[in-house]
């Protein structure tokens, strides 16, 4: 079953094969039903990452079902994970209330008492969400105790906690000690390929004293681990910038081009835009225009008005359709993109007005006089 799990990972992330989330899910589920616990737990996490999953339940429900399978086999980590799922999302996971829901709080508290850092972190998160000040104090104290005893995963959440029983000097000294432990943990985790730790790992480099190899060299190394080991494509784009500007690494334009392209292929706008800029510098003509068109399609995302990069990519794509650059001229396709983008960007609405096309009622400037 390990081979099914490994194949599922390859199809999910597109290593050596075309990405295929449906096939990956089937392989993971086959491994999970074959009692490969790691496959169940990995798939549960992946449901919250962006993949082109086949239609099905929400990510939270799909995750909880995987944990339920592990719990049903008598494995405590599955039961704890399911309990924490229910505590975090009681409404969305109401179907589990009559089973694990009745004991979820006790399951989590017992695990935390036994120094299970995952349980303690979850209980702190829930207490913060519920504005439960006494609960926050209890969990913070427990995590601090674990942090100072060497459980570095417990450190980061309590770095900036205000301790009522500490003097200002004691607070500063304790915060520094906790911060350093948290930084060392994040850097070790980042080097091991866990991308979610890399942003903090890069940011905390050299905060308290110089790095033996230099700050920028260390930051570049951690950025590399985040990109290659953790497949964090935002960090791949950051690595490309470092390679292009010789920031902590030798200048290598070929590698910069490759990392930007990888970032672009996974929806990172900066990677696409720099790749397009390089193409424009290298020449002109139909072949270049076609490559620019393909990259611009990758740069276009309209799932969040805060994603200004993705929206800018969509505006550029509509312009290429309208003018027939790199693709067949298709004004209606441009109008379709502007209509979708008008919810997020006034500029898209203005393009519709320029062509005397209807502006949707939920336009970005609907409330303007």
User: Is position 12 within any domain?
Assistant: no
Whether the pLDDT of residue 8 is over 60: the answer is yes
Residue 231 and residue 224: Cα distance in Å, rounded?
Answer: 10
| Residue range 286-313, pLDDT digits in tens | 999 999 998 888 888 765 555 666 688 8
Residue 332 and residue 312: Cα distance in Å, rounded?
Answer: 19
Residue 254 and residue 249: Cα distance in Å, rounded?
Answer: 13
Report the chain's mean pLDDT, rounded to a whole number: 86
pLDDT at 243: 94
Residues 214 and 309 in one domain: no
pLDDT at 156: 80
From 231, 265, 299, give the residue that closes a domain: 265
Task: Over range 17-38, report the average pLDDT.
Answer: 88
Residues 286 and 364 in one domain: yes
Burial of residue 181 (CB within 10 Å: 0-12, 13-18, 19+) is buried
Residues 288 and 368 in one domain: yes
User: Is position 180 within any domain?
Assistant: no
User: Is position 107 within any domain?
Assistant: no
pLDDT at 245: 92
| Residue range 216-250, pLDDT digits in tens | 888 888 888 888 877 788 889 999 999 999 998 99
pLDDT at 66: 92
Q: ∠ at Cα 51 (200, 82), nearest 5°?
A: 75
Number of domains in the chain: 2
pLDDT at 50: 58
pLDDT at 306: 55
| Residue range 118-157, pLDDT digits in tens | 899 999 988 988 889 899 999 999 999 998 887 878 888 8
Residues 6+ apart with CB under 8 A from 356: none
Residue 344 and residue 357: Cα distance in Å, rounded?
Answer: 17
Token duo for residue 124: 């702190």
| Residue range 49-70, pLDDT digits in tens | 657 788 888 888 999 999 999 9
Whether the pLDDT of residue 72 is over 80: the answer is yes
Residues 300 and 285 in one domain: yes
Whether the pLDDT of residue 368 is over 70: the answer is no
Domain of 327?
Answer: 267-369
| Residue range 88-102, pLDDT digits in tens | 888 888 888 777 767
From 265, 286, 316, give the residue that closes a domain: 265
Q: ∠ at Cα 129 (179, 144), nearest 5°?
A: 30
Residues 323 and 287 in one domain: yes
User: Is position 5 within any domain?
Assistant: no
Residues 313 and 250 in one domain: no
User: Is position 295 within any domain?
Assistant: yes
Residues 307 and 247 in one domain: no
Task: Compute, in degrees rounded to 10, the torsion defined by CA atoms 30, 33, 34, 37.
Answer: 110
pLDDT at 211: 64
User: Is position 317 within any domain?
Assistant: yes
User: Is position 39 within any domain?
Assistant: no
């Amino acid at each position: 079953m390990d081979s099914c799990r490994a194949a599922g990972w390859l199809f999910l992330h597109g290593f050596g094969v075309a990405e295929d989330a449906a096939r990956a899910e089937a392989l993971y589920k086959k491994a999970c039903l074959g009692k490969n616990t790691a496959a169940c737990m990995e798939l549960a996490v992946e449901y919250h990452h962006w993949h082109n999953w086949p239609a099905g339940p929400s990510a939270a429900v799909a995750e909880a079902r995987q944990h339920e399978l592990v719990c049903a086999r008598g494995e405590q980590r599955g039961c704890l994970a399911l309990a924490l799922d229910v505590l975090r999302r009681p409404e969305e996971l109401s179907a589990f209330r009559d089973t694990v829901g009745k004991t979820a709080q006790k399951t989590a508290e017992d695990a935390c008492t036994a120094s299970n850092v995952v349980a303690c972190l979850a209980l702190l998160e829930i207490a913060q969400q519920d504005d439960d000040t006494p609960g926050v104090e209890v969990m913070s104290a427990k995590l601090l105790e674990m942090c100072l005893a060497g459980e570095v995963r417990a450190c980061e959440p309590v770095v900036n906690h205000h301790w009522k029983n500490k003097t200002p000097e004691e607070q500063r000294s304790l915060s520094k000690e906790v911060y350093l432990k948290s930084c060392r943990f994040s850097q070790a985790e980042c080097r091991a390929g866990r991308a979610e730790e890399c942003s903090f790992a890069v940011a905390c480099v050299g905060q308290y004293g110089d790095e033996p190899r230099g700050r920028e060299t260390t930051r570049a190394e951690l950025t590399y681990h985040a990109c290659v080991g953790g497949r964090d494509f935002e960090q791949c784009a950051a690595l490309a910038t470092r390679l292009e500007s010789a920031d902590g690494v030798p200048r290598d334009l070929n590698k910069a081009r490759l990392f930007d392209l990888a970032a672009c292929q996974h929806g990172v706008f900066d990677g696409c835009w720099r790749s397009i800029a390089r193409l424009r510098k290298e020449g002109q003509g139909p072949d270049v225009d076609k490559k620019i068109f393909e990259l611009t399609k990758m740069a276009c995302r309209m799932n969040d008005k805060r994603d200004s990069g993705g929206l800018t990519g969509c505006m550029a794509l509509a312009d290429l359709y309208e003018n027939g650059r790199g693709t067949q001229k298709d004004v209606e396709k441009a109008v379709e993109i502007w209509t979708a983008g008008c919810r997020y960007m006034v500029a898209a609405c203005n393009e519709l007005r320029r062509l005397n096309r209807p502006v949707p009622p939920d336009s970005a400037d609907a409330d303007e006089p």
